[in-house]
Structure 1
Amino acid sequence: MPVFTRLRQQPDTSPEVEPESPAPQQEARATLRTRFADWRERHPVPVRVVRWTITILAAVLVLGALVLPNKESALHAERFVRIPVEAVLGAAVALVLPRRPRIIVAVVSGAALGALTILNLLDMGFWEYLGRHFNLVLDWELLPDAQSYVQDSMGRAVAIGATVGAFVLVFLLLSVMALAMVRLSNLLARNKQAATRGTLAAAVVWVLCSALGLQLGGTPLASDRAAGAVVLQAKGVRQTLKDEADFQKIAKVDEFGNTPPSQLVPDLRGKDMIFTFIESYGRSAIEDPVEAPGVDATLDARTKALAKAGFHAKSGWLTSATYGGSSWLGHSTTMSGLWIDNQNRYRTVMASDHLSLTKAFAKTGDWDTVGIMPGVQKGWPESKFYGLQSYRNAFQMGYKGPKFSWSTMPDQYALQAFQNLEHGKKRSKPLMSLVILTSSHQPWAPIPKMVPWNDLGDGSVFNAIHAAGKKPADIIASSPKSQAEYGKSVQYSVTALTQWLERYGNDNTVLVFLGDHQPIARVSGNHASRDVPISIVAKDPKVLDKISSWGWTDGLRPAHNAPVWQMSAFRDKFLTAYGSTPHPKKN
């Protein structure tokens, strides 16, 4: 007999194997479930209270999200006592769906409502800081800039905390909103008859409120806020995509695109040209009752001081393409003659050969061209568009002093570095300079103070001023304090620039300076214009005679009724006033 047959016939003498016992973790979970069930049976009242509390919180969360406005100024109690039609429709859908599809729809719609809430919160921030809603296509790339701003202004720890907090908030909104929708849909399904009657009653009330136009505190009781927000976002996406294609064609059309070099700004030959932007220098600085007294007094005093030194000025208003931030949009709009109000347009024009105002001087071959960029802390390929042969960034000016909040160095130091490194050099050609000043950048704490020009050195003189200054946390949440400090920062920047001109300007110096945009709404107000002041300063009377037809105000302070142009109009008006001949470049 084969061996395996003999073995098979032997009696099984192996010990009996005991069945495996549950893993310790499973036993622990089972024990906890048993204890929790026992506790619920022994304490029915607290259990019901907890359940209804969670249900009520879920309802409040969902209903609040459905009527949440997208502007901080609209956060009023009456906005949250309306009847959202989306809730009525959602209840009707939950009542007719079987369990599995109902749960799926609840999770998806809850996550979608969480996403809409995130967009509303982003809108609040953008309206507060940039005076516009969040662009779903273009503005995601601005969020790292916001993180960098917080780090530069408030410190690395605050920036990390804010970033982590933002991610946690996003996760919670998406997940908790989905769980809340599931809980409410389950409640409706368990109480179908009562829920059906309640849903029908709510629908009738909503229709009546809508038809009769009933309001509470000026706010309609019948709400379709969430649906309207979705439609608005969809329209924004379509408009953004269409705008991208349209602007590419617009950017190819240039009134001076084919003008020969000899016919560009012939009336400014031999002049040292300086184009300067002052950060957040807006109309509010000159006309707001809080900021204006100090700023206007400074402008008037500096006008007199310049006149004593032989300089005279004319000033007007430009309407900026941006508000509260994104300064580069204001810079590029002024210099390109194109309306650049979003990041996509900015990228398009920077990659084009459109003639910028500063590049017009470079194109003639009769000027050296440089940039002074204390706010640039990384590569800056835009210098090519601006026609700059070279530029100095924040790390190329020898500054060894402290940062003043976001600003890497005080304006006075940046201007002295400009003098030492570029303007004061002996050259065979006049100089065209693009200078971006940053000391008036929010949050306006601490603010540098003027020091004797001969004491500037490497900037260490500012250490004591920085230590004695206010902290961003001292003013950032207070509108009156922010307004007061903003006004002081503008006074400082204007004083530094005009003192530099007194000290180093000559008969052939021409200074054009302007604001890039208005300050944020916390400072300029919710209904402020987008206007910024602009001034042209020169010793040679012929320079200002060329713009006598513009109707601008004499001095550094433009009159309230001085002409207001779109910022994009300035390039062509300036080129024309100083003798440039149009030779259009067409699409």
Structure 2
Amino acid sequence: MPNSVVRLGPATFVRIPAEGVIGAAVMIALPRRPRVALAVVSGVALAALTVLNLLDMGFNQYLGRGFNPVLDWSLLGDAQSYLKDSLGGTATLAATVGVLVLVLLLFVLLTLSTVRLANLLARHPGTATRGTLIAGVVWITCSSLGLQMSGVPLAVDRTATALKWQVRQARNTLRDEAEFQKVAKVDAFGNTPGSQLVPDLRGKDMIFTFIESYGRSAVEDPIMAPGVDRTLDTRTKALAAAGFHAKSGWLTSATYGGSSWLGHSTTMSGLWINNQQRYRTVMASDHMSLTDAFKKTGAFDTVGVMPGVQKGWPEQKWYGLDKVYNAFQLGYKGPKFSWSTMPDQYALQQYQDRVHSKKPAAGKARMSLLILTSSHQPWAPIPKMVGWDQLGDGSIFKGIQAAGNNPADVIADTAKSRQEYGKTIQYSVTALTEWLTRYGTKDTVLVFLGDHQPIARVSGNHASRDVPISIVAKDPKVLDKVDGWGWTDGLRPAHNAPVWKMSAFRDRFLAAYGSTPHPKKG
């Protein structure tokens, strides 16, 4: 069995497994008790590898990478929560029970089958021996000649290869933990005094915003791009009419399809955080985040608006945020839109009412971190823009949510998923830029970007990991500071605009706005 859905086909199941041939030879030679014991162990091992293979398929399809048996078990709980928010508790419970029953059956039936086959070989040793020899000769011949069917080799050792890969991955994961701890202790700006951090942004109204799943495919895919590009061009003109201008480029995200927190922390830390282990290491470290740099200046109040946070969030300390508003602290009385707790427009208006419209502490400016959620999968139902003065407590969205698509219908339809995904990006960009033209000031500086590409079923199996990033400001001096970056004017980055790793942004941004490096060495 392959570890990717796209490689799953009839030709996959007519291959000759080397492990099967060797296993048959060993079973024929063993006495009864050792034979049964080996058959049981083999059946259990085969079932375990099949489960890992199926997890690989799911992770490759949704996150663009294989399943890591050391780190990724905790993500299964997140997946269950996502299903509950998207499809409801009953459907999620049924799916969970169904999966558990299937896994149990897989272990029981594969073990029983292996024992039965071992006993069958023992009862017919002559036939079994001849069959095993023939299979072995055929395997060697096919392997030597490189014979294939529909592009798939006939002679394989997939199980042994998969097992070696899992062992190697586990070993590399454990090694990476120790190495990354050393990397996280090194910081080019770790010892920079607050007085020498972002001096060129003092007095500015700084806002960093992540748009969920806003990836390069939204801007360049032939199905999704036309609508998204029209929105980006229209909003660029609207911003210009309000006195704002923008420059845009590309960042290569550390994650894909999900695990948004890895993209957030990579951008803010300047470290490549592509797994949960690295994330935990950084959150427990004193490595400076970009947001914390503003706090360390002593010249900024720092606040976060996180409508996707629905439980305790100890990461607040590492991000250097004085105050955080989670999903339950924004007064929303309307319906959820699948996973998204509230529409972006409502979250932005609450940010305006609770934070942006208030003056910071005496003599200070403000730095804000916003995480928008309306473009989170399954992209159904989708909120619509309403009058900003009609938002109230969000009850106005009840009718919009009820009239929207059923998440189960969109999840099951790839073409529809791609179309609806594009619409959510248009909505989020419109909501954010309308907020800016309505409430932004001469000192407002908005940096917004995507956290990762959407899942492979939407972005494609060979999509890049790139996401758009834009800096928007009224003050021309702000954009002049990044003029040498080669970014594109406006909200839509050109195809050939520079592409940086997401981890490069923090240090480039700090340097562009006058920060002086004082390295901290591990």
Same fold (TM over 0.5): yes
2:45 matched to which residue of 1? 112
Q: 1-side partners of 2:83 and 2:450: how far apart? A: 23
The Cα offsets for residues 372-395 of structure 1, whole Å up to 9 and x where unpaired, read as: 000000000001010000100000
Q: Secondary structure at the match of 1:558?
A: coil
Counterpart AA for 1:288: D
2:418 matched to which residue of 1? 483
Moved more, 170-179 or 248-257: 170-179
Show the 5 A alignment for 1:23-422. 68-422=1-355
1:565 matched to which residue of 2? 500
Rg larger for: 1
Q: 1-side partners of 2:378 and 2:185: how far apart? A: 38
1:538 matched to which residue of 2? 473
The Cα offsets for residues 4-49 of structure 1, whole Å up to 9 and x where unpaired, read as: xxxxxxxxxxxxxxxxxxxxxxxxxxxxxxxxxxxxxxxxxxxxxx
1:30 matched to which residue of 2? none
The Cα offsets for residues 234-273 of structure 1, whole Å up to 9 and x where unpaired, read as: 0000000000000000000000000010000000000010
Deviation at 1:217, TM superposition (A): 1.3
Question: How large is the RMSD of aligned CA atoms in angstroms?
Answer: 0.5
Deviation at 1:475, TM superposition (A): 1.1
Deviation at 1:370, TM superposition (A): 0.3
Deviation at 1:76, TM superposition (A): 1.3
Give unmatched runs, 5+ long, in structure 2. Answer: none
Counterpart AA for 1:359: D
* Residues matched between the structures, number: 520
1:549 matched to which residue of 2? 484
Give unmatched runs, 5+ long, in structure 1. Answer: 1-67
Q: 2-side partners of 1:421 and 1:146: how far apart? A: 32
Q: 2-side partners of 1:430 and 1:254: how far apart? A: 26
TM-score normalised by length of structure 2 = 0.99
Q: 2-side partners of 1:176 and 1:286: how far apart? A: 48
Counterpart AA for 1:486: Y
2:356 matched to which residue of 1? 423
Deviation at 1:80, TM superposition (A): 1.0
Aligned counterpart in structure 1 of residue 444 of structure 2, from 500, 504, 509: 509
Q: 1-side partners of 2:98 and 2:369: how far apart? A: 39
The Cα offsets for residues 65-93 of structure 1, whole Å up to 9 and x where unpaired, read as: xxx11100000111111100011011011
1:447 matched to which residue of 2? 382
Q: 2-side partners of 1:510 and 1:398: how far apart? A: 27
Deviation at 1:575, TM superposition (A): 0.2
1:520 matched to which residue of 2? 455
Q: 1-side partners of 2:508 and 2:143: how far apart? A: 51
Counterpart AA for 1:260: P
Deviation at 1:426, TM superposition (A): 2.0
Q: 2-side partners of 1:131 and 1:521: how far apart? A: 7
The Cα offsets for residues 152-211 of structure 1, whole Å up to 9 and x where unpaired, read as: 011001111111111111111111100000111111011110000000110011011111
The Cα offsets for residues 40-68 of structure 1, whole Å up to 9 and x where unpaired, read as: xxxxxxxxxxxxxxxxxxxxxxxxxxxx1
1:460 matched to which residue of 2? 395
Q: 2-side partners of 1:69 and 1:219: how far apart? A: 11
Counterpart AA for 1:138: L
TM-score normalised by length of structure 1 = 0.88
1:20 matched to which residue of 2? none
2:369 matched to which residue of 1? 434
The Cα offsets for residues 86-143 of structure 1, whole Å up to 9 and x where unpaired, read as: 1101101110110111111101100110000000000011001100000010000111
Segments of 4+ moved more than 2 angstroms: none
Q: 2-side partners of 1:533 and 1:271: how far apart? A: 23
